[in-house]
Amino acid sequence: MLFNSITFFIFLIITFIVYWKSVSYSQRMSKLVLLVSSYIFYGWWDWRFLILILISSTTDFIIGNLLFKTKEQQKQKSLLILSIFINIGILALFKYFNFFIDSFKSLTGIITDENHWSTLNIILPVGISFYTFQTLSYTIDIYKRKIEPTKSALTFFTFVAFFPQLVAGPIERAKRLIPQFEKKPKFSFSQASSGLKLILWGLFKKMVIADQLSIIVDTVYTNPENFNGAGIILATLFFGFQIYCDFSGYSDIAIGTARLFGIELMINFRTPYFATSIRDFWHRWHISLSTWFRDYIYISLGGNQTNSIKWARNILITFVISGLWHGANITFIIWGFIHGLLFILERFISPFIKIPNKLKNVAGLIITFSIVNFSWLFFRAESWNQVKILFKHILNDKTINPNSFIQLIQNSGHLTEPGRMLLFVFPFFILVEYFIGNKTFDHILNNSPKLIRWSFYYLIILSILFFGVLNSAPQFIYFQF
Active-site residue, from 116, 286, 326, 393: 326
Who's near 206: CB < 8 A, 6+ residues apart?
Answer: 3, 4, 245, 246, 249, 250, 253, 476
Reduce the secondary structure of the chain to three states and give it as a string: CCCCCHHHHHHHHHHHHHHHHHHCCCHHHHHHHHHHHHHHHHHCCCCCHHHHHHHHHHHHHHHHHHHHHCCCHHHHHHHHHHHHHHHHHHHHHHHCHHHHHHHHHHHHHHHCCCCCCCCCCCCCCCCHHHHHHHHHHHHHHHHCCCCCCCCCHHHHHHHHHCHHHCCCCCCCCHHHHHHHHHCCCCCCHHHHHHHHHHHHHHHHHHHHHHHHHHHHHHHHHHCHHHCCHHHHHHHHHHHHHHHHHHHHHHHHHHHHHHHHCCCCCCCCCCCHHHCCCHHHHHCCCCHHHHHHHHHHHHCCCCCCCCCHHHHHHHHHHHHHHHHHHHCCCHHHHHHHHHHHHHHHHHHHHHHHCCCCHHHHHHHHHHHHHHHHHHHHHHHHCCCHHHHHHHHHHHHCHHHCCCCCHHHHHEECCEECHHHHHHHHCHHHHHHHHHHHCCCCHHHHHHCCCHHHHHHHHHHHHHHHHHHCCCCCCCCCHHHHC
175 and 295 Cβ atoms separated by less than 8 Å: no
Closest CA to 85 of 109, 107, 55, 110: 55
Q: Is 326 a catalytic residue?
A: yes
C-alpha span between 407 and 389 (Å, rounded): 21
| Bridge partner list, 133 | none
C-alpha span between 133 and 88 (Å, rounded): 9
Query: Which sequence positions are flagged as catalytic?
Result: 326
